[in-house]
Amino acid sequence: MADNGCGFPAPGLHSFLFKPIFTVGGFEFNKVMLLALITTLVVVTFFTMAFGKAKVVPGKLQMIGEAGYDFVRRGIVYETLGKREGEKYVPLMVSIFFFVWIMNIWSVIPLAQFPVSSIIAYPAVLALIVYVIWVSLTFKRHGFVGGWKNITGYDPSLGPIKWLVSFIEFFSNLLVRPFTHAVRLFANMFAGHLMLVMFTVASWYLLNSYMIPAAGVSFVMTMAMIVFELFVQAVQAYVFVLLACTYIQGALAEHH
């Protein structure tokens, strides 16, 4: 924590930097990487245990797994892509949803207390995966010429402005889209964690001063922020997967 001169350890960018747990050669393994690894193990282990020995009459774990799987399948994938086109993408979208959600939820877990997705590299890699799938599907479905028409929104009926529209669509789809897809998740988790750290540190700081009543107010705000963050964490996972499905739907759509 940085001291701003008045004794208050103000949070900042240093709150997102961690010393390596160990170093192998030039590779440094830190807390964020550990949480990302645990996230992967949690998601894989949960669904393996839930569906590894699936029964006609499901147990509690299988029921929870089916509820989560069905939420993503019916609530996001089918609604965006339709059942026929979307079924093949359900496993991928379920995996991304729960991976993002668990990465986010570490923010309010004791000892962890850090959202992995507030480090831009993790949302960027997920957005890149979606981007590669979207571009590949576009050209696979429409061919080389049709793929570029789909990406650029080329429409001869627009007359003289068709080239301007195509340039804007090209720039938006190929360059801006993956950037905004990653940054939307990153920025929300970054800002949320910063706010949580600020109110938590403020509560402790005020409690150790003569402003104890203010510490109580700050503590209440911290609890409110935690509840709000729990909501935002789930929403961000939902939005990330919804956008991924929307991009794939655009790749599969017929160009007119």
- Phi/psi at 23 (5° precision): -130, 130
Triad 20, 23, 25: Cα angle to 5°:
145
Q: What share of the chain is helix, strand, coil (3-state, %, to 5)?
A: 80, 5, 20
Domain membership of residue 25 (yes or no) is no
Contact 199, 2 (CB under 8 A): no
Residue type, 131: Y
Question: Higher model confidence: residue 210 or residue 4?
Answer: 210
Among 104-118, 166-180, 189-203, the range scoring the smallest mean pLDDT is 189-203
Domain membership of residue 109 (yes or no) is yes
Q: How far apart are CA 117 and CA 123, in angstroms?
A: 6
Q: Global pTM?
A: 0.88
Beta bridge partners, 10, equal: 2
pLDDT of amino acid 57: 74
pLDDT averaged over the chain? Answer: 86
Domain membership of residue 243 (yes or no) is yes
Average pLDDT over residues 51-67: 84
Domain membership of residue 250 (yes or no) is yes
Domain membership of residue 43 (yes or no) is no
pLDDT of amino acid 93: 96
pLDDT in tens, 220-246: 888 888 889 999 999 999 999 999 999
Domain membership of residue 245 (yes or no) is yes
End-to-end CA distance of the chain: 56
Average pLDDT over residues 49-62: 82
Among 24-38, 150-164, 166-180, the range scoring the smallest mean pLDDT is 150-164
pLDDT of amino acid 206: 67
pLDDT bin (cut points 50, 70, 90) of residue 160 is confident
pLDDT at 64 > cutoff 50: yes
Crossing angle of helices 121-152/177-207, nearest 10°? 150
Domain membership of residue 52 (yes or no) is no
pLDDT of amino acid 256: 47
pLDDT bin (cut points 50, 70, 90) of residue 4 is low
Domain that holds residue 226: 62-254
Total domains, the chain: 1
pLDDT of amino acid 183: 95
Could you give the percent of the chain with pLDDT greater than 90? 49
Domain membership of residue 5 (yes or no) is no
Beta bridge partners, 23, equal: 28
* Cβ neighbours, 10 Å, residue 55: 7
Query: Which pair of tokens denotes residue 11?
Result: 């949070």
pLDDT in tens, 15-44: 778 888 889 888 889 999 999 999 999 999
